[in-house]
């Protein structure tokens, strides 16, 4: 039995989830290469930065949520199933596997080892030393150590960072599912269940309000924008001109879906439209400041939570808003982390962690306006997860 099989067999003994320990060193920020300066690219694998921005001559009508009728929905679903080989889940898995198989041999090997080591670390991190000795066979410990050593050797030899490996799985997964997620959103009229949609609407209203005050610069940044899932909500809450919106996502396929759906509308005065960027948020060099930076079901997908928050803070104007929303709540994210620590490295920051983060890092220059609800609390059941911070002087 291989390490991956042993890990999958034993993972059922984990009764609760905590953030996985970094397989390199234990530190406040984890091990992530410094953010490259403008113009630098990742040496491990080709990550192109693609920017789509509107010009003159396109449509001026605002996007509207139009739910398909039964006939249209049936046809769209049938065509989607054909594109995914008859089953969306298995079709998505096949697409992910093909993307990993297409990597350069050294990166493919490193990605496989990263997955196994990350799963092992997530398995053992909640255990006491006594439980670990009792439950983890010595041969599994030895295999894990050998995998870790080989992984570190590959990373050093090929200049691969932990961030790179995390992004391999993020990009492969979200690109594989982009068509399905965007099409299913089209079928539903780009609306979630009412109670979940209300939570997203509230967050979008805060983001838009920040763009309409006296000191605003008229720009909102949507990080992890996907196929443009909150464009309609932002527009409905009053984000009047399309060129006020900038969306960034690691997946080029998600960005293509967003451009197809929301890239045509223009500001009648400037002729400019929404900007969609296919890039790594942590490495992209954004121009200018923003009134608000919003993460809608996205912060937990980032490879470095604190580094992401720090960068978002630098992009805000004084008085701007940092908004983190997950309509299903922090407990849902902890469940995702437990099920797939490779994709979701940790849970969302809770109120106390936000306070400690702000107190320990004066460079953040953030104040916590709205504290998020604790997992499994009555308030979380009612509100989901919403944290709102203001950039101070």
- Give residues with Cβ within 8 angstroms of 91, minimum separation 6: 83, 84, 85, 180
Q: How far apart are the C-alpha atoms of 203 and 295, rounded to whole Å?
A: 10
Angle, helices 162-187/70-83, rounded to nearest 10 degrees: 150
Q: For residue 65, what pLDDT band results from cuts at 50, 70 and 90?
A: low
Residue 192's pLDDT is what?
A: 87
Residue 368 belongs to what H/E stretch?
strand 366-370
Model pLDDT for residues 110-163, shown as the tens digit of each residue? 999 999 999 999 999 999 999 999 999 999 999 999 999 999 999 999 999 999
Residue 289's pLDDT is what?
A: 98
What does DSSP assign to residue 190? S
Q: Residue 195: is its pLDDT beyond 80? A: yes
> How far, in whole angstroms, is CA 46 from its chain's centroid?
19
Q: For residue 240, what pLDDT band results from cuts at 50, 70 and 90?
A: confident
- The neighbour count for residue 289, using CB atoms within 10 Å, is 17
> How far, in whole angstroms, is CA 59 from its chain's centroid?
30
307, 284, 317, 315: which is closest to 361 by C-alpha?
307
250, 227, 228: which is closest to 180 by C-alpha?
227
Name residue, tokens 């870790």: 148
Angle, helices 162-187/252-262, rounded to nearest 10 degrees: 30
Mean pLDDT confidence for 160-179 = 98
Q: Residue 19: is its pLDDT beyond 50? A: no
Q: How far apart are the C-alpha atoms of 299 and 310, rounded to whole Å?
A: 12
User: What b-and-e string marks burial along 366-382, b requiring 16 or more CB atoms within 10 Å of the CB?
Assistant: bebebebbbbeeeebee
Q: For residue 28, what pLDDT band results from cuts at 50, 70 and 90?
A: very low
Q: For residue 67, what pLDDT band results from cuts at 50, 70 and 90?
A: confident
Model pLDDT for residues 286-318, shown as the tens digit of each residue? 999 999 999 999 999 999 999 999 999 999 999
- The neighbour count for residue 285, using CB atoms within 10 Å, is 12
Q: How far apart are the C-alpha atoms of 277 and 219, rounded to whole Å?
A: 15
Residue 64's pLDDT is what?
A: 58
DSSP string computed for 297-333: S-GGGSS-HHHHHHHHHHHEEEEEEEEEEETT-HHHH
State the architecture of 52-65+190-391 in CATH terms. 3-Layer(aba) Sandwich (3.40)
* Contact criterion met (CB below 8 Å) for 168 and 111: yes
Return the SS3 of 66: coil
Mean pLDDT confidence for 205-209 = 98
Q: How far apart are the C-alpha atoms of 256 and 235, rounded to whole Å?
A: 20
Q: For residue 262, what pLDDT band results from cuts at 50, 70 and 90?
A: very high
Going from N- to C-terminal start, the domains of the chain cover 52-65+190-391, 75-188
- Strand 220-223 and strand 290-296: pairing? parallel
Helices (H), the chain: 3-10, 70-83, 88-101, 105-124, 129-135, 138-158, 162-187, 194-210, 231-236, 252-262, 305-315, 330-339, 351-360, 378-383
Q: For residue 63, what pLDDT band results from cuts at 50, 70 and 90?
A: low
Model pLDDT for residues 282-293, shown as the tens digit of each residue? 999 999 999 999
* Contact criterion met (CB below 8 Å) for 256 and 245: no
Q: Residue 8: is its pLDDT beyond 50? A: no
What strands lie across the sheet with 366-370, from one edge to the other? 50-53, 275-278, 245-249, 220-223, 290-296, 316-326, 385-391, 366-370
Q: How far apart are the C-alpha atoms of 7 and 88, rounded to whole Å?
A: 26
Query: 12: number of CA atoms within 13 Å, CB side?
Result: 4
């Amino acid at each position: 039995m291989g390490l991956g099989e042993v890990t999958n067999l034993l993972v059922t003994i984990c009764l609760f989830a905590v953030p996985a320990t970094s397989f390199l060193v234990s530190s406040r920020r984890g091990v992530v290469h410094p953010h490259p300066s403008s113009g630098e690219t990742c040496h491990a694998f080709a990550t192109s930065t693609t920017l789509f921005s509107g010009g003159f001559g396109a449509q001026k009508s605002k996007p509207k949520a139009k739910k398909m009728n039964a006939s249209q929905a049936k046809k769209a679903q049938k065509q989607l199933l054909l594109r995914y080989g008859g089953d969306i889940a298995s079709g998505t898995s096949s697409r992910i596997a093909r993307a990993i198989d297409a990597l350069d041999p050294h990166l493919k090997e490193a990605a496989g080892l990263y997955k196994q080591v990350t799963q092992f670390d997530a398995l053992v991190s909640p255990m006491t030393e006594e439980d670990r000795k009792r439950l983890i066979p010595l041969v599994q410990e030895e295999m894990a150590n050998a995998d870790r050593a080989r992984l570190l050797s590959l990373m050093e030899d090929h200049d691969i960072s932990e961030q790179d490996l995390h992004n391999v799985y993020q990009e492969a997964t979200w690109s594989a599912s982009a068509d399905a997620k965007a099409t299913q959103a089209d079928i539903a009229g780009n609306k979630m269940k009412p109670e979940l949609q209300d939570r997203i609407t509230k967050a979008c209203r805060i983001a838009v309000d920040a763009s309409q005050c006296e000191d605003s610069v008229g720009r909102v940044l949507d990080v992890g924008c996907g196929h443009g899932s909150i464009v309609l909500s932002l527009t409905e809450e009053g984000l009047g001109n399309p060129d006020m919106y900038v969306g960034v996502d690691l997946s080029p396929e998600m960005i293509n879906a967003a451009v197809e759906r929301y890239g045509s509308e223009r500001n009648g005065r400037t002729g400019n439209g929404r900007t969609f960027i296919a890039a790594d948020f942590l490495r992209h060099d954004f121009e200018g400041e923003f009134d608000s930076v919003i993460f809608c079901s996205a912060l937990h997908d980032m490879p470095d939570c604190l580094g992401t928050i720090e960068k978002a803070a630098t992009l805000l104007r004084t008085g701007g808003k940092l908004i983190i929303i997950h309509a299903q709540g922090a407990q849902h994210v902890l469940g995702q982390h437990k099920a797939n620590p490779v994709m979701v490295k940790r849970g969302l920051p809770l109120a106390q962690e936000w306070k400690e983060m702000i107190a320990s890092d004066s460079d953040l220059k953030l104040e916590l306006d709205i504290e998020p609800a604790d997992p499994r609390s009555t308030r979380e059941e009612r509100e989901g997860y919403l944290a709102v911070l203001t950039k101070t002087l």
